[in-house]
Amino acid sequence: MTMVIPGDWSQLEPMLDAQWIAPAFDARAADAWQKRLAIVVPYRNRQAHLQLFVPYLQEYFRHDKLDRRIPYAIHVVEQADDLPFNRGQLANAAFRLIGDDADYLCIHDVDLMPLWADYAYPAHPARLCLHGRPVPENTQLYFGGVTALSMADYERINGFSNNYWGWGYEDHDLRLRTLSVGLRVEARDGRYNALHHAHNGFTGDGRLSPAGQRNRDRFGAELAAGFQGWRHDGVNSLRVEHLGTTPLQLGAQTWPQVRHHRIRLQT
Ligand code: UDP
Ligand code: MN
């Protein structure tokens, strides 16, 4: 099934509302905690956060009553060039590199530490984080931060757009991709502790940054054009260079179980 995405918000909003489903723990398949999870962390130049994130997440998965059963791996996907940051391309590159080694991906910001969360296999693309972010999110649309998708669903929506540079709107674009192909989305809506950083999306006086404005305009243009661009902008059109993969090393410390991929993007 494919859905027509209306260009105006008054028609789109009820469709976004209707797309959400509540997580149903009791209805889950018995193997929902046995599928292989790849946690994908798009990354560049946030070493202090990464140093906290890796041990924190490992401890979370050691102790959480349900999620401790999940066979997971952490993949740090570093953008190794001086272009503006591109979260979508890094996630797409990880999807390709991981291939058949995982059943599902969780695209995970490095600065979000799970307090109450749910990383089980997503029968539908799932929003894991809603609460605890410094800026309140639009609950109707928000699909960023920490998002889980099966490999099959990721492929079906052609992954992320490769065209959002700098900051913002690649997550809204991802959400509309799921809507376009008729997928429901699950609102797990966990609570996370957000680490502090200078914000790329807004200027000091609270206005959208130039990169944020560009990406907002790009997203608006996609919508106005009927939101068809995703078919040829994503995993199937990604052109990046994989510079190598090693165990993660941070200062003197090595994390043998954490994969560190270095990717050079192309404009
Ligand atoms: N990120 C990064 N380096 C950057 C920009 C972004 O590593 O220069 C990654 C990091 O994982 C971060 C995520 O992309 O958590 C989202 O970016 P950011 O935190 O700036 O956006 P926010 O969600 O806070 O608006
Ligand atoms: Mn952040």
User: Is a pLDDT exceeding 90 seen at residue 267?
Assistant: no
- The best mutation among 109, 146, 196, 203 to test binding of ligand 1, ranked by most ligand atoms within 8 Å of the C-beta, falls on 109
Instruction: Tell me how far the alpha carbon of residue 193 lies from the centroid of ligand 1, in angstroms.
Output: 15
* Phi and psi, residue 150, nearest 5°: -65, 155
Ligand closest to Cα of 147 equals 1
pLDDT of residue 230: 98
pLDDT for res 25 = 83
List, in sequence order, the alpha helices (H) in 118-255. Answer: 151-156, 170-180, 210-224
pLDDT for residue 195: 97
Q: Which of 254, 255, 199 is nearest to 57 (CA)?
A: 255
Residue 19 pLDDT more than 90?
Answer: yes
What would the pLDDT profile of 31-77 be if each residue is shown by its tens digit? Answer: 999 999 999 999 999 999 999 999 999 999 999 999 999 999 999 99
pLDDT tens per residue, range 127-177: 999 999 988 889 999 999 999 999 999 999 999 999 999 999 999 999 999
Ligand 1, atom 12, lies closest to the CA of 109
CA of 111 to the centre of ligand 2 (A): 6
**pLDDT of res. 21:** 96
Q: Which ligand is nearest to the CA of 49?
A: 1
Q: 109 alpha carbon to ligand 1 midpoint, in Å?
A: 6
Whether 24 shows a pLDDT value over 90: the answer reads: no
For residues 105 and 95, is the Cβ–Cβ distance under 8 A? Answer: yes
Cα dihedral value 135, 148, 163, 239, nearest 10: 150
Helix H segments across the chain?
9-19, 47-63, 87-98, 151-156, 170-180, 210-224
